[in-house]
Amino acid sequence: MEENFTRKDNLAKKYGFTEADFKQIEAHGISLDKIEGELLLFQNGIPNIYLEKPATINDGIRKLSKDDFQQFANLFDAKKSNFRLKKFVPASGAATRMFKFLNEFLIEFSPETETINAYINRKKDKNLPVFLAGIEKFPFFEEVKSQVKQIVDNYYSLESHEKSYHFIKTMLAADYFDFANKPKGVLNFHKYDTHIATPVEEHLNECAYYASSNAVSHLHFTISENHEELFHKIVDDVKEQVENKANIKLHIRYSYQDKSTDTIAVTMQNKPFRNEKNELVFRPGGHGALINNLNGLTADIVFIKNIDNIIQNHIEQTTLYKKALGGLLIELQDKIFDILFAIDNQKVDSTTIKAIFNFMTQELNIIIDEDFFKFTLENQIEFIKQKLNRPIRVCGMVKNEGEPGGGPFWVKSGKGTISLQIVESSQVDINNPAQAKILSKATHFNPVDLVCGINNYRGEKFDLLQFVDNSTGFIVHKNNKGKELKAYELPGLWNGAMAKWITVFVEVPLVTFNPVKTVNDLLKPAHQPQYEN
Express each pLDDT in 229-274 by its tens digit. Answer: 999 999 999 999 999 999 999 999 999 988 899 999 999 999 999 9
> Which helix (DSSP H) or strand (DSSP E) does residue 304 occupy?
strand 301-305
- 129, 422, 463 from 109: Cα distances, Å: 14, 40, 52
pTM exceeding 0.85: yes
Residue 277 phi/psi, 5-degree rounding, is: -95, 10
Contacts of 59 (CB under 8 A, 6+ apart): 53, 410
Direct distance between the N- and C-terminal alpha carbons of the chain, in angstroms, rounded to an integer: 64
Contacts of 440 (CB under 8 A, 6+ apart): none
Contact 474, 46 (CB under 8 A): yes
Could you read off the pLDDT of 142-177 as tens digits, one per residue? 999 999 999 998 999 988 999 999 999 999 999 999
Positive or negative, the CA dihedral 517, 520, 526, 527 is positive
Domain-by-domain residue ranges, the chain? Answer: 44-93+184-226+239-516, 97-181
Contact 208, 250 (CB under 8 A): yes
Helix axes 100-108, 116-123, angle to 10 degrees: 110
Alpha-helical segments (H) within 397-502: 433-440
- What per-residue confidence (pLDDT) applies to 1? 47
- Answer whether CATH 3.30.1370 is correct for domain 44-93+184-226+239-516: no
d(CA 284, CA 272): 16
d(CA 97, CA 360): 41
Comparing CA positions, the residue from 317, 467, 321 lying closest to residue 395 is: 321
Could you read off the pLDDT of 446-505 as tens digits, one per residue? 999 999 999 999 999 999 999 999 889 989 888 887 889 999 999 999 999 999 999 999
Residue 403: helix, strand or coil by DSSP? Answer: coil
Task: Express as a percent the part of the chain with pLDDT over 90.
Answer: 81
Comparing CA positions, the residue from 237, 234, 201, 220 lying closest to residue 315 is: 201
d(CA 239, CA 208): 11
Q: Do β-strands 392-399 and 502-507 pair in parallel, antiparallel, or remain unpaired? A: parallel
d(CA 431, CA 472): 18
By mean pLDDT, which of 352-361, 402-411, 431-440 is the weakest? 402-411
- What per-residue confidence (pLDDT) applies to 401? 81
